[in-house]
Amino acid sequence: MANDTLLHISGNSYAWSGKYTVGVYLHEETGSAYLLDSGPNQIIAEMIDREITKRGYEIVAIVHSHGHLMNTGGSHYFRKHYPMLRCYATSLSAPFINNPSLLAPIGTISHVQNSNTGLSMLEDSSIITDTIPLQDAVLEINGLAFTIYTLPGHFSGMVGIQTPDQVLYCADALFGSSTLSRQKLLFFTEPHKAKISLQKLKTIHAKQYVIFHGGVYNSISELIDENINRIDDAYDDVLALIEQQWQTSESITQRMMSIHDFENNEKQYDLAYTITQAYLKQLIYEGKISRIIKNGILFYKNNDV
């Protein structure tokens, strides 16, 4: 982490070289810097800030892709140190950036919220200054044209951001090869919409692509296909479990953790539970399964059995 720096991608477009690939656009004529997401915490934010300042630029705006703390945890720091900073987000993302303790959309279980005692210190209803419309459009900031693409699936209000250099920051619309190599079950909260967004990414022409959990790519076609395959596999896994017999949320989560080699800890459980709920919701919407209560216990049953 100590050796992390800005990687030049194309033109004025850069990416942070660390584990979390924050996007950076440096406008030479004005000495202004534009961040695409802010990283997970103040430590990373300070490192990015120092590197940008060292190059003679001042951060004037942050465009947030979505409301997960992993992507927005540095915004409180930047807003505090740059009072005139403009911060952009969609209407679905803004509440979670202003109030990180909401933990959208993972961690809705009360014990998770209560364990994050430090999050209340990050709450600041004034972080987001400008709203990004939930539609594909050009977002003009200080005369610079950033193109916004809606990419729901990982998060309802998520967007991708393309710089004037035609570098597309895909946020968490897909996961890179390093994530795919170690994790079979991917974090999509709306799998059906995620597949639509992945197909949409195939139609967007860009010089290069940046993935928050994955780095920089010249082409993402194969990654898109692999992400779609992982979604389809998880869908089939959940449906197959319910085809065998009635299942509870707990039993399905337990089996999904086993199938996909999750570790036995709270963080991994919450992740598996949230993902499993997403597939159950989709299967209910499609009419393939339904819910039934027996002796005060909620079961899921296959409608074809």
Cα–Cα distance measured from residue 148 to residue 133, given in angstroms and rounded to the nearest whole number: 9
Residue 6, strand partner residues: 16
pLDDT at 126: 80
pLDDT at 125: 62
Cα–Cα distance measured from residue 171 to residue 194, given in angstroms and rounded to the nearest whole number: 12
Query: Which residues make Cβ contacts (< 8 Å) with residue 12, sequence separation at least 6?
Result: 25, 26, 27, 28, 163, 164, 165
Both tokens assigned to 295 = 């002796």
Ranges of the chain whose pLDDT falls below 50:
107-117
Cα–Cα distance measured from residue 183 to residue 262, given in angstroms and rounded to the nearest whole number: 9
CB–CB of 227/198 below 8 Å?
yes
pLDDT at 18: 85
pLDDT at 4: 85
* 52, 58, 67, 185, 237 from 201: Cα distances, Å: 29, 31, 20, 21, 26
Both tokens assigned to 221 = 């076609």
pLDDT at 114: 43
HSE of 51 in the Cβ direction (CA atoms, 13 Å)?
23
CATH architecture of 235-302: Orthogonal Bundle (1.10)
Q: CB burial class (10 A; 0-12, 13-18, 19+) of residue 10? A: middle
Query: Which residues make Cβ contacts (< 8 Å) with residue 188, sequence separation at least 6?
Result: 153, 154, 194, 231, 275, 278
Backbone φ, ψ for residue 215 (5° rounding): 95, -155
Write down the CATH number for the domain with range 6-228.
3.60.15.10
Cα–Cα distance measured from residue 287 to residue 281, given in angstroms and rounded to the nearest whole number: 10
Residue 289, strand partner residues: 302
The domain segmentation of the chain, as residue ranges, is 6-228, 235-302
The pTM is what?
0.91
Cα–Cα distance measured from residue 21 to residue 248, given in angstroms and rounded to the nearest whole number: 37
* 51, 145, 225, 236 from 196: Cα distances, Å: 37, 25, 12, 18
Integer distance in angstroms from the first to the last C-alpha of the chain? 53
Query: Which residues make Cβ contacts (< 8 Å) with residue 206, sequence separation at least 6?
Result: 162, 166, 167, 168
